[in-house]
Structure 1
Amino acid sequence: MKFSLQIFYKYCSNKFHSLNPIEPILPKPKMEYGGTAISRLPRRRDKIVVIMGATGTGKSRLSVDLATRFPSEIINSDKMQVYRGLDITTNKIPFQEQLGVRHHLLGEFESSLGEFSPYRYRCHATSVIKQIAARRKLPIVVGGSNSFIYALLAERFNPKSQVFDGSDPVCTELRYRCCFLWLDVSLPVLNEYLKKRVDDMLDSGMVDELAQYYESEINESEPNTGLRKAIGVPEFQRYFRTFPGKVNDTCGGDVEEEQVRSVLYKEAVRAIKDNTCQLAKKQTEKILRLKGEGWDLQKLDASAAFSAALVREPKERWSDIWERQVVEPSVKIVKRFLE
């Protein structure tokens, strides 16, 4: 008896379907983008929370605040914080401030192994989300790298596309059911806070960290990738080329040499502050691009909390404002989303 392939495939499909009626075999979609077949239905069942915002707006703090109220795990989406090393320079959340919440893709990859591209992030973060969902926990994606967030969430993602400069359209069809929380701080307040944060990072040992990095990691023949692009590394390049392995210690030594070192140090610090403020502005513009194209970003204004921090209000007052104006509205939004 002749048995056509079409009948055979139909028989197999029906056979497997009868064995597992909950998960019927679905035909793979024929649509492709960038040479990759796209499967949609399984991913759409996962719910995730995405915390966005410019650098320094309190995203890491809010992610932990939420994760202590909902059974959650946090996935980093900052392109410098995925690399191992330079914890102060890249402003990774300290272990003690993680409050026991599990963090993923935070300091897990070696910068020397090459650039961690948005496509690589998409692959790794997708796998992590699947694992977290399997543990019946809520994935919270948090970070300021909008290119990573877009790569992860866009249903049709082309690694070569340029959506943030307007060259290519923004994909509005998402791979997951997303609750977007956009932490915003008015730019004048944020810029002032970012400059203060740089001073705090320097007081915490940032220069010593960079000195060690330049001494052991920097190879002038290697391409400028990975951690070498982190704000702080290129800005201090001239300083450490002139004074290898030395921090800004003006005690002893030649007076003229100390004057040169002081000038180079101040130039580096000023450049770090300027470039950090420029980064915050660019990140905000990218977020506005996504919102303008239909991404449902729910804005939370944290300006009052940051203003209180800048005028050195008591910590209790700062925390109270943060709780009332940021945390409580966020909790309500996430509760509605999950229900």
Structure 2
Amino acid sequence: MDPLIAVVGATGTGKSKLAVDLASRFNGEIINGDAMQMYRGLPIITNQIPVDERNGIPHHLLSCIDLDAEAWRIGNFKREALRLIEDIRSRGKLPILVGGTHYYTQAVLFKDQLVGEGADEEGEPEPGKELESTSQKWPILDAEPEIMLEKLREVDPVMAARWHPRDGRKIRRSLEIYLKTGRPASEIYKKQMSQKEEAVQKEEGLLRFNTLVFWVHAEKKILNARLDARVDDMVEQGLMCEAQKMSDYIHEKQSQGVEVDQTRGVWVSIGFKELAPYFEAVRNGDLSEKELENLRRTSLESIRTATRQYGTSQVKWIRNKLWRALSESGKTRCLYLLDSSNVSEWKNCITEPSEQLVQKLLQNEPTPDPKSLSELATAEFSAKEAQGRVKAQTEILKCYTCDHCKKTMSGEDQWNIHINGHPHRRVLRAAKKKAQRDAYFRQKEMEEKQSHIFKPDS
């Protein structure tokens, strides 16, 4: 298979810089895999790499969508990215896929995705987003979780047993799959997993290409401080102007009677939605200068918090979903962690090891153990390996309800933790004492009744 380089990692770790370094060294071109960076005219809010830092390297799918364009979905991105990969290769160059929207990246790397896990069916919503037309067609999808769960028990009891009664999003998704396909989601999952296992056994592999994945990572405390500083830099570079431009656009559309869907696309980007209340207050003019400044300061702090949280969620995706997909493919050794905690050591920690690995890939030479690159890599991958082989998704999770504690847990692990925990044991002891006390009083009551029955007349 032809080679593909993929660069993943949390925001602020240096993914874009690594991609440019590798493209410069190995005659490559870069494909952007960040959903927000596809929008035109917002380089600061979307954290696009500045033109003067691209080293003349072509960047595809970067700044290519207008504000009024319909937001791309996974299927759109995957088709265009695969087309670009072939186009870049046809010109004798190395394609490098880089970005923080990891479900986009994963859809390109792997041949097949489970329904709801990056599936690329036409119209497939982004994680956490649903199509309005779906609920219009099936109103039950707008019902309370308890009502949807009752229906799911009828059509797909296996999936119904898997979800917590309050997990409305997952219940809704499982029911939606049945309504769309006419087949229980549990059967679809089982068939897809069987196909995956068969492909691995036949050594066909699940990766589309001969892939090398670089995970640019940094220690959490160091990264959080770096992200806070970056927000300050963004403000100096013009973050407020870009956010105001977006706010003005929405206001203008509303004045024309056009409602902008602010739940999708660039409108959910970090930096705009946190500042939206501030610009609305400025437009209304009902706050004092001091109140406006306080609101501005609060909004910027919200941006810092959201940026840190987003970085954490990106890392969780890599540790869980990307690792699981690679594990199911038997390809965890193609994932290499590069430690960017100390930017002054970029050459030793990032440049040299990444170039050596790409060189080995292109020359079809064996690559080293991913744990050997750094202490951080050793810690991360040793922890994953210690968890053992990932359970196949055909082993559907189940929910367990404790009648004593009136609690519901998802999965056997959580159930075992609960029944062996002190709170559960305390409830059992209290229940046992109550049962003994009730039995004692029942016995006393029976004895009194018997003594009254057999008491001789006076």
TM-score range, shorter chain: 0.7 to 0.9
Structure 2 residue 333 is the aligned partner of structure 1 residue 302: no
**How far off is 1:302 after superposition?**
1.0
* Paired residue type of 1:177: N
CA contact (8 A) 1:215 1:244 kept: no
Asked if structure 2 preserves the Cα contact closer than 8 Å seen for 1:119 and 1:159, the reply is no
1:212–1:245 CA contact under 8 A, matched in 2: no
Residue range with higher mean Cα deviation, 73-82 or 290-299: 290-299
The reply to whether residue 204 of structure 1 matches residue 237 of structure 2 is: yes
Q: Which residue of structure 1 aligns with residue 65 of structure 2? A: 109
Change (3 A) 1:202 1:83: same
Of stretches 187-196 and 205-214 in structure 1, the one that deviates more from structure 2 is 205-214
Pairwise CA distance, 1:258 = 1.0
| 2:308 equivalent in structure 1 | 277
Deviation, structure 1 residue 161: 3.2
C-alpha deviations, 1:157-211, integer Å up to 9, x for none?
3563369999879977111111111101011110110000000000111101211
- Cα distance in structure 2, aligned partners of 1:162 and 1:96: 34
Q: Paired residue for 2:108?
A: 152
| 1:240-276: CA deviation from partner (whole Å, max 9, x where unpaired) | 1011399xxxxxxx9x711111111011101100000
Say yes or no: does 1:181 pair with 2:214.
yes
Corresponding residue of 2:419? none
C-alpha distance in 1, partners of 2:278/2:246?
13
Q: C-alpha separation between the residues in 2 aligned to 1:159 and 1:183?
A: 28
Match of 2:349 in 1: 325
1:85 CA displacement: 2.1
Counterpart of 1:66 (choices 2, 15, 22) is 22
Take 2:23 and 2:64, find their aligned partners in 1: how far apart are those partners? 21
Normalized per residue, the structure richer in helix is: 2
The counterpart of 2:298, out of the listed 231, 245, 267, is: 267
Q: What's 1:30 paired with?
A: none
1:77·1:143 contact (CA, 8 Å) conserved in 2? Answer: yes
Name the residue aligned to 1:119. Answer: 75
How far 1:137 sits from its partner (Å)?
Answer: 0.3
Matched with 1:56 is 12
Normalising by structure 1, what TM-score? 0.75
Deviation per residue, 1:259-312 (Å, 9 max, x gap): 11111101110110000000000000000112244243111111122xxxxxxx
Q: Deviations over 1:109-149 (max 9, x none)?
A: 22422121111110110110010000010000011111100
| Alignment: residue pair count | 273
Residues 212-250 of structure 1: per-residue CA shift (max 9 Å, x gap): 22113454522122111110111011001011399xxxx
Aligned to 2:152: none
| Distance in structure 1 (CA, Å) of the matches to 2:74 and 2:283 | 34
The aligned counterpart of 1:286 is 317
Instruction: Measure how far apart 1:336 and its partner are.
Output: 0.5
Change (3 A) 1:88 1:177: same
Residue 55 of structure 1 and its aligned partner are, at CA, apart by 0.6
Structure 2, unaligned stretches of length 5 or more? Answer: 120-126, 129-161, 163-169, 171-188, 197-204, 364-458
**1:335 paired residue number:** 359
Q: Secondary structure at the match of 1:69?
A: helix
Larger Cα-atom Rg: 2
- 1:303 alignment partner, SS class: coil
- In structure 1, the partner of 2:277 is 238
SS of equivalent to 1:231 = coil
Cα distance between partner residues in 1 of 2:338 and 2:261: 39
Correspondence for 2:224 among 187, 191, 205: 191
List runs of 5+ in structure 1 lacking aligned partners: 1-44, 247-253, 306-317
Identity of aligned residues (%): 33
Taking the aligned partners of 2:116 and 2:318, their CA distance within structure 1 comes to 19
Verify the 8 A CA contact 1:80 1:90 in the aligned structure 2: yes
